[in-house]
Amino acid sequence: MLKKYFLFLFFIISTHSFSQGMQLSIYSKISVITYGPGDALYEKFGHTAIRIQDPVLQLDLIYNYGIFDFTEENFYVNFTKGFMKYRLARYSFPPSLRGYNNDERWVKEQVLNLTVEQRNTFFRYLENNAKPENASYFYDPFFNNCSTKPIDIMKDIFGDVIVYKSDYITEENTIRELMNKEIHTNTWGSLGINIALGNRLDKTAQPNEYMYLPDYVFEALENSKIIKDGKEKNLVLKTNTLLDYPEKSINSDTFSPLIIFLILLILGLYISYRDIKRNIRSRWFDTSLALITGLFGVLIVFLWFFTNHSTAPNNFNFLWAFAPNFFLAFILNKKNPPKWISNYVKLLLILLVLIPIVWILGIQLFPYALIPLFILLAIRYWLILRTTKSSE
Which of the four pLDDT bands, split at 50, 70 and 90, describes residue 236? Answer: very high
Q: Helices 283-305 and 188-196, interaxial angle, to 10°?
A: 60
31 neighbors 42 (Cβ within 8 angstroms): no
Task: Provide the domain limits for residue 363.
Answer: 257-390
Same-domain check for residues 31 and 108: yes
Same domain, 235 and 347: no
Domain assignment present for 321: yes
Residue 141 counted as domain residue: yes
Q: Give domain status of residue 311, yes or no.
A: yes
Q: Please choose, from the candidates 101, 99, 113, 210, the residue with its C-alpha nearest in 3D space to the C-alpha of residue 158.
A: 113
* Residue 238 sits in the same domain as residue 266: no
Per-residue model confidence as pLDDT tens digits over 346-390: 999 999 999 999 999 999 999 999 999 999 999 999 999 888 765
Task: Report in angstroms the alpha-carbon separations of 74 from 77, 78, 107, 188, 308.
Answer: 5, 6, 34, 26, 15
If asked whether residues 48 and 136 sit together in one domain, one would say yes
Q: Is 171 helix (H, G, I), strand (E, B) or coil?
A: coil
Q: Do 201 and 271 have their domain in common?
A: no
Is 179 contained in some domain?
A: yes
Say yes or no: 239 and 285 in one domain. Answer: no
Q: b/e for 194-227, b at 16 or more Cβ within 10 A? A: bbbbbbbbbeebeebbbbbbbbbbbbbbebbbbe
Q: How far is CA 36 from CA 176, 244, 248, 304, in A?
A: 20, 10, 8, 32
Q: Report the alpha-carbon distance of residue 36 to residue 162 in Å, rounded.
A: 26
- Mean pLDDT score, 193-214: 95
Judge whether 32 and 124 are in contact, CB under 8 Å: no
In a domain, 150, yes or no: yes
Domain boundary among 243, 271, 301: 243
Q: Final residue of a domain: which of 243, 271, 305? A: 243
Q: Do residue 101 and residue 204 come from a single domain?
A: yes
Strand partners, 61: 52, 92
Confidence of residue 335 (pLDDT cuts 50, 70, 90): confident
Residues 307 and 232 in one domain: no
Mark whether 146 and 230 lie in a shared domain. yes
**Do residues 358 and 364 lie in contact, with contact meaning Cβ atoms separated by under 8 Å?**
yes
| Number of alpha carbons in the 13 Å side-chain half-sphere of residue 374 | 19
Residues 115, 36: one domain? yes
Q: What average pLDDT does this structure show over 239-264?
A: 95
Find all residues with CB under 8 Å of 206, minimum gap 6, and list them: none
Q: What is the mean pLDDT of residues 135-158?
A: 94
Classify residue 248: in a domain, yes or no: no
Instruction: Report the distance separating Cα 181 and Cα 334, nearest Å.
Output: 45
Residue pair 318/296 in contact by the 8 Å Cβ criterion: no
3-class state of residue 24 by DSSP: coil
pLDDT, mean of residues 261-275: 97
Exposed / middle / buried, residue 278 (Cβ in 10 Å: 0-12, 13-18, 19+): exposed
Strands (E), the chain: 29-35, 47-54, 59-68, 84-92, 107-112, 136-139, 162-163, 225-228, 231-234, 236-243
pLDDT by residue (tens digit) across 119-138?
Answer: 999 999 999 999 999 998 98
Question: Does residue 252 sit within a domain?
Answer: no
Q: Is the pLDDT of residue 260 over 70?
A: yes
Amino acid in the structure at residue 113 = N
- What pLDDT does 64 receive? 96
Compute the distance between CA of residue 218 and CA of residue 136 in angstroms, rounded to an integer. 24
Domain count of the fold of the chain:
2
78 compared with 301, residue with greater pLDDT: 301
Same domain, 279 and 165: no
Domain boundary among 211, 243, 275: 243
Read off the pLDDT of each residue in 327-334 and give the average, rounded to a whole number. Answer: 86
In a domain, 171, yes or no: yes
Spatial separation of the C-alpha atoms in residues 53 and 63, rounded to whole Å: 11
Do 235 and 283 sit in the same domain of this protein?
A: no
